[in-house]
Amino acid sequence: MIEDAPAKVNLHLHVTGRRADGYHRLDSLVVFAGASDSLRVGPGEGVTLGLGGPEGGALAAEPDNLVLRAARRLAEAAGRPLPGAALHLEKRLPVASGIGGGSADAAAALRALDRFWGLGLGAARLEGIALGLGADVPVCLASRPALMGGVGEVLSPAPRLPAFGMVLANPRVALPTPAVFAGRQGAFSPPASLPASWPDAASLAEGLRGLRNDLEPPAIALCPPVAAVLDALDALPGTLLARMSGSGATCFALFRDAAAAARAAALLPAAWWRWGGAARTGD
């Protein structure tokens, strides 16, 4: 079986506070892109992970790989001996890049192995395991647009979204999430107040314009090329809004439709990782 692991994009990301354990409270509208990794699961001896794809070289299939950690946690939760599983991850999303590639892969492993092993653990238990693997893993489990609160574990339905196109661009600099959070300065932001729906891509972009990604300033301080990526996205024909996703360095731009996004992505420097296509809005 093959499980899709789509890139997550934070359309806005407000840091609303900080917990005693250092984790930050967030308010974020999360959507998923057509860009994805894919995870194949088949019978095997023990649980093994093979890596392929254009971005696979950046990862090592070592025991602390998030996919293997997800498999171990699931096996612990099952509490009984399980048959072997040979996993193969086709890695197309850049690693450590703010679009949740590792989280999406871990979530895909939870979904696929729950089915492969016939565990039927159910959404609540899978979500609990997901949160133990990382703050972004629960939202990736459903891979549907969602409003994210808490440190990532409080999920509620997103406003109704129009169809829209999206370009993703990464300057090929990995940004460590903890360093970006640690560099954030100033007052916390209030949660965004969002309408129940947006009629079209232009009004979505307009609505997001008054919001922000609070991690953009610290990410740019650590990685100045992020500012160049945002400028390049802003300058593309048809860009409605450009912003950074997560803790960076991947930035995104919104477009009227997938075709406009695909045409625009081809105009970005070939040295960058870039993608253009449809957002998965659930319609």
Chain residues that interact with ligand C5P, rule: CB under 6 A: 23-24, 26, 134-136, 151-152, 177-178, 181
The two beta strands, 24-43 and 241-244, are unpaired
Q: Is 142 exposed, middle or buried (0-12, 13-18, 19+ CB in 10 A)?
A: middle
Residue 256 is given by DSSP the state: S
In the complex with ligand C5P, which residue's Cβ is closer, 14 or 274? 14
Closest approach, Cβ 146 to ligand C5P, in A, equals 15
Q: Is 124 exposed, middle or buried (0-12, 13-18, 19+ CB in 10 A)?
A: exposed
In the complex with ligand C5P, which residue's Cβ is closer, 121 or 131? 131
Place of tokens 């406009």: 260
Residue 23, token pair as written in the block? 């984790």
**97 labeled part of a ligand binding site:** yes
Contact 198, 256 (CB under 8 A): no
Q: How far apart are CA 144 and CA 278, in angstroms?
A: 14
Residue 25: left if φ>0, alpha if ψ -120 to 50, beta else—which one? beta
**102 labeled part of a ligand binding site:** yes
Q: What is the DSSP string of 116-184?
A: HTT----HHHHHHHHHHH-TTHHHHHHTS-EEEETTTTEEEEPPB----EEEEEE-S----HHHHHHT-
**Which residues are part of the catalytic machinery?**
8, 136
**134 labeled part of a ligand binding site:** no
In the complex with ligand C5P, which residue's Cβ is closer, 68 or 167? 68
**28 labeled part of a ligand binding site:** no
In the complex with ligand C5P, which residue's Cβ is closer, 152 or 248? 152
**101 labeled part of a ligand binding site:** yes
In the complex with ligand C5P, which residue's Cβ is closer, 28 or 281? 28
**95 labeled part of a ligand binding site:** yes
Place of tokens 């040295």: 271
Residues near 16 by Cβ (< 8 Å), separated by ≥ 6? Answer: 25, 26, 27, 188, 189, 190, 191
Residues in the chain: 283
Known binding residues are 94-104
Q: Which residues are annotated as a binding site for ATP?
A: 94-104
